[in-house]
Amino acid sequence: MKQLIAANWKMNGQPDWADKVSALTALVPDPSCDLLICPPHPLVGSLAITAEGTPIKIGGQDCSEYEAGAHTGETDAALLVTLGATYVIVGHSERRAAGETDTRVKAKAERAINQGLRPIVCVGESLAQREAGEAVSVVTNQLEASLPASGDYDIAYEPIWAIGTGRTATAGDIAQMHAAIRNAVGSGPRILYGGSVKPANAVEILRTPEVGGALVGGASLDMESFSKIAHAAISER
């Protein structure tokens, strides 16, 4: 299976950022990996139109566990599909920090699958949990409670202490956690690493055992930077 290099633009972007799809296509015309951009929801439709006929997929940064209805501020998975999305991130650490529970993450993932989206289910531990020796147990417990009962999905391991801090887990840290995740979930889902991934460390990270790709934050806002991470990907793992 190809590695997945996914861009999480978070709350960044303007209408003209649809042009970044063309820029990325020019920089990575024949990718050896699967490429995904997850922009803010108002930009999903325009990016999906621009991405038609290219290798680039478009996804959402979150979705509701509910069907369309009286849920102010939520985004229906079915609407994301209508706009052209094929993936969606659920359970990102920033959403969990805002109070999102494992139960809700699982419900969102299952709703996404039922509507034809492939969820990327995020898990990860805090610095305090790691220093207490609880990292593996925290992550495996999140997996048990957050993963959908059936269907196709990917997993993103994002150590919370390495997101937006400039700190990156060592290759040994990543290998240990990804091995624990693989042992917990078995074969099937790709296990992405997310946590200050950038061109300077992409090769080492993407060649670490059981790393099936990267969930990229800040470095994905610049297409030249993001393309360098894509070029570091392994074609088959």
Tokens, residue 83: 């706009």
Phi-psi label, residue 194: left if phi above 0, alpha if psi -120 to 50, beta otherwise: beta
Crossing angle of helices 223-231/199-206, nearest 10°? 20
For the annotated catalytic residues, the residue numbers are 92, 158
Does the annotation list 218 as a binding residue? yes
Phi, psi angles (nearest 5°) of residue 205: -65, -45
Under 8 Å between Cβ of 49 and 83: no
Q: Are 123 and 147 in contact (CB under 8 A)?
A: no
Tell me whether residue 188 is annotated as binding. Answer: no
- 196 labelled binding-site residue: yes
Q: Is 164 annotated as a binding residue?
A: yes
Residue whose C-alpha is closest to residue 217's, from 208, 209, 226, 205: 226
* Residue 234: CB atoms within 10 Å: 15
Closest CA to 121 of 130, 110, 129, 132: 110
Q: Mapping DSSP to helix (H, G, I), strand (E, B) and coil, where does residue 22 land?
A: helix
- Residue 59 assigned ligand-binding role: no
Residue 132: DSSP 8-state:
T
217 is in an annotated binding site: yes
Under DSSP, the state recorded for 98 is T
Burial class (CB in 10 A: 0-12, 13-18, 19+), 183: exposed
2 is in an annotated binding site: no
Residue set of the binding site: 8-10, 164, 196, 217-218
Residue set of the binding site for substrate: 8-10, 164, 196, 217-218
